[in-house]
Amino acid sequence: MTQSRKPSVAVLGAGSWGTALAALIARHGHSTVLWGRDAATISAIEAEGENPRYLPGIPLPGNLRATTALPEAMANADLVLVVVPSHAFAETLRALAPWREPGAGVAWATKGFEPGSGRFLHEVAGEVLGDDVPLAVVTGPSFAKEVAEGLPTALTVHSEDAVFCQQVADALHGPAFRAYTGDDMCGAELGGAMKNVLAVATGVADGMGLGLNARAGLITRGLNEMLRLNIGIGGRPETLMGLAGLGDLVLTCTGDLSRNRRLGLALGRGASIAEAVREIGQVVESIQTADEVMRQADRHGVELPISSHVRDVLHGRITPAEGLQRLMARERKPEYPSGLFGGH
């Protein structure tokens, strides 16, 4: 790649978020190819310039190409951006590995943990791709529909490779999109995953009609749980006070475009899990993520009352009303444990 040419980008995953990011990068003048498995969706993007299944009515840039052929998407790509659900993450990395151009880094905007093992996605990526491949995570408060429509958005890119981190941020950064950078991949990934679980809690409270005070309390105490688990796994607290934590948490807990919030709303109004998921019609990450968050918490000896009750509600062990009753009955304690922010 010459200095004057913008990096070519392969975006893998043609759901709402993958399509929105591919459109954003294409609008910024990068040669961009979007890969997806669903032939009908890819054909519509190519023929009509629209993703009718995930982003209906939103025109996509004319220079965005789409394909179901992974080798075609990966050909000459200087940068690969993976945007698939967490359950398909490892499989997608294994599929792209043979086609990755030498020197091409791999970033992802996937949120969650590896199903079953509970591993962080950067651990999975390092194992599948090897130590010499630059890696980065893209995360923060961002509804796909708003990004696709060109509304102002701010995200953060975290990587241990400063040069690749900046390359990813540069591809995303534009007139209506700010991309910040950092190097705490653990903290960034934890925030992106855990906020989905906490969004269910605020959705349940709103569905039960518990009021705005309850919502604010749940968001704030949810942030406290994120901070404490982040310290336990070796992340930095400031990461979760920024876009990767607080920003994403507030958006997902208050915005009705959030699938996880809508799941909670339906449960709070008395729907069953099956009914709620069917109504949403897209992958809802929080059901599996709640298990993985609690697996991390148990491993590191961190108590997470809100997250654990969300897990129990999602598995049908308790009703939302019982979960609320248990939270309210907990013993009184200091708001913050000593040493959380490095002080006393």
Q: What is the pLDDT of residue 280?
A: 83
83-87, 98-102, 279-283, range with the lowest pLDDT: 279-283
Q: What is the pLDDT of residue 4?
A: 64
- One domain, residues 154 and 17: yes
- One domain, residues 36 and 104: yes
Report the pLDDT averaged over residues 126-154. 97
Last residue of a domain, one of 183, 215, 240: 183
- One domain, residues 173 and 202: no
CATH of the domain at 266: 1.10.1040.10
**Distance between alpha carbon 331 and the CA centroid of its chain, in Å?**
33
- One domain, residues 89 and 130: yes
pTM: 0.94
In angstroms, the Cα distances linking 323 to 7, 107, 315, 329 are: 49, 37, 12, 10
- One domain, residues 228 and 163: no
Q: What is the pLDDT of residue 283?
A: 66
Q: What is the pLDDT of residue 59?
A: 97
- The bridge status of strand 64-67 relative to strand 32-35 is parallel
Report the pLDDT averaged over residues 253-264. 94
pLDDT tops 50 at residue 344? no
Q: What residues act catalytically?
A: 195
Domains contained in the chain, number? 2
**Domain-located, residue 167:** yes
Mean pLDDT in the chain?
Answer: 94
Structural domain boundaries enclosing 157: 9-183
- One domain, residues 203 and 89: no
- One domain, residues 284 and 202: yes
